Structure 1
Amino acid sequence: MMRLSNVSHAYDEEPVLEDVSVSVSPGEVVGIIGPSGVGKTTLLRILALFMQPQEGAVELDGQAAWGTDDRTRLQLRRKVGMVFQEASLFDGTVAQNVEYGLRVRRSWPARLQAAILDVLGLREAPPAIEEALDIVELTDKRDQAASSLSGGEAQRVSFARALAYDPTYLLLDEPTSDLDPRNTGLIEDAIRRARDRGLGVVIATHDMHQAQRVADRVGVLLGNGITEIGPTDQIFEDPADERTRQFIAGDLVY
């Protein structure tokens, strides 16, 4: 399980997260909903171990992420893949972009050998690359230049890249906010397929309908804290907290 316990964080003494607790288990999707600017990205960055919270604890599979040595924390971080709101691709083909994480994790001799084989055109993409491209339905574009892709296709490549090195947990930060309905649907299908493969997925989104479609549980982030978290149907149909009820009804202005 990936778990945040009583996490608080501030920027320039301005609170962003206050006493936030949330968890995700392998094989489930947890949606974090809330208005823009409420702290969803900060929460994901803390989960990804990109930053240490000023208060509280972060655990992956029962092991504390902070207060340990750098090597241990690196091993924990390698269990986590993250897809950002905007895709960032490198020069080269789709398959080369998806393989980037695997290349970084190889030893230098293995990395050099792979690069040489690439230049000579003698190497096939590893099975993990093909599987990741299949999940996002981009196998037909594996040899296409990444620079030629549409925005939606580029985001799907970013998704595949996060899957290729076989993380245990996948974090998604507003992954479809600028996408057309077709690519949004493909990303949502990929989320379900990742969950079905046993990944624990956290998706931060301001799109409440998307959370209803893909999440098993939903947490509502308002006023720097989680007002409540529970099964998706319960949160949307019978929320226990009045602030949650007002937010979902559109009566809470931020």
Structure 2
Amino acid sequence: MTLRADGVGHAFGDEPVFSNVSLAVDPGEVLAIIGPSGAGKTTLLRFLGLFERPDEGSVVFDGADVWAVPEADRLSLRRRVGMVFQDAGLFEADVARNVEYGLRVRRPWGERLRDELAGLVGRNGTAEAVRESLELVGLADKADQDAASLSGGEAQRVSFARALAYDPDVLLLDEPTSDLDPRNTAVIEEAVRAARDRGIGVVVATHDMNQARRVADRVAVLLDGGVVEVGPVERVFETPDDERTRKFVAGELVY
């Protein structure tokens, strides 16, 4: 299911963030959004995640303008998008319960109640989705461990597993490995590739250009209040069309 921003723009008060931003992510690809701090990467992700409405333009998911459909339909679309924030945001519960959470809130109330009474969790009333997701991030052995006892890197991996457990059509990642050590970074990057291989469209907002080169199929460069370039990774980094892109990836622009 393609997720697309068409001419999106936004301002905070009288301060414009960006305008006329258009980009899309298709099933089974990773799109990286790079740009300096303050360029609006997180804000753009929140629009793509259907959390907020932009001031201008539209967000189209599965052929539907998400802000033109009834609220119930918009909620159904939002449930097909997963998001991992910089802060893992885990609950005071064990690891498995944290991963299970996304599955539970996305199922009809009657089904959730039935499964709770039966002591069942996960997709189709089983714990299989939880186990698979934890295995993907290398934490299956910590399913019963208190989430508060995890390291920062492990907590972020649990957050990733939670978003992946309910099989979203699109997965949005906001600086998913900032401040993580190389080992945890490598695990999450491998999980990003696994999500892509499952046919999930992945959007990664990152300031780490080397990470963009490692995991992305295409790159969007968010600079000077807009997307100045979108294209395949190697072309954007090696032979960009826009001089601002060249200067940015070379570290010549100061913000």
Shorter chain as denominator, the TM-score bin is over 0.9
Give the Å deviation of 1:172. 0.2
Matched, 1:165 2:166: yes
Query: Separation in 2 of the partners of 1:29 and 1:245?
Result: 21
**Residues 95 and 144 in structure 2, CA contact (< 8 A), matched pair in contact too:** yes
Q: Hey, what's the Cα distance between the residues in 2 that align with 1:62 and 1:113?
A: 33
Q: Is the CA contact 1:95–1:125 (under 8 Å) kept in the aligned structure 2?
A: no
Check the 8 A contact 1:79/1:168 in 2, yes or no: yes
The percent of aligned pairs where both chains have the same amino acid is 63
Q: Specify the code of the residue in structure 2 equivalent to 1:164.
A: A
Q: Distance in 1 between matches of 2:52 and 2:18?
A: 13
Provide the residue aligned with 2:203 in structure 1: 202
* Counterpart check, 1:2 vs 2:3: yes
Aligned amino acid, residue 85 of structure 2: F
Shift of residue 118 of structure 1?
4.6
Pairwise CA RMSD? 1.4
| 1:169 alignment partner AA | V
Q: Contact 1:82/1:170 (CA < 8 Å) preserved in 2? A: yes
- 1:191-247 CA deviation, whole Å, 9 max, x = no partner? 000000000000000000000000000010001201100000000000010000000
Show structure 2 runs of 5+ residues with no match. Answer: none
- How far apart, in 2, do the equivalents of 1:107 and 1:27 lie? 28
What is the identity, as a one-letter code, of the residue corresponding to 2:189?
Answer: E
Task: Give the C-alpha shift of residue 9 in structure 1.
Answer: 0.5
Q: 1:73 — aligned with what?
A: 74
Residues 79 and 106 of structure 2 are in contact (CA less than 8 Å); yes or no, is this contact kept in structure 1? no
| Cα distance in 2 for residues equivalent to 1:109 and 1:207 | 44
Residue number in structure 2 paired with 1:239: 240
| Residue 249 (structure 1) shift | 0.7
Query: Equivalent residue of 1:186, what SS?
Result: helix
1:28 and 1:84 map into 2 onto residues whose CA distance is 20
Aligned to 1:134: 135
Corresponding residue SS for 1:99: helix
Please state how far the C-alpha of 1:115 moved relative to its aligned partner. Answer: 3.7
Native 8 Å contact 2:18 2:225 kept in 1: yes
- Cα deviation, residue 105, structure 1: 2.3
Give TM-score, length-normalised by structure 2. Answer: 0.95
Q: Which structure 1 residue ranges, 5 or more long, are not aligned?
A: none
AA in 2 matched with 1:16: V
CA distance in 1, matches of 2:78, 2:92: 26
Aligned twin of 1:218: 219
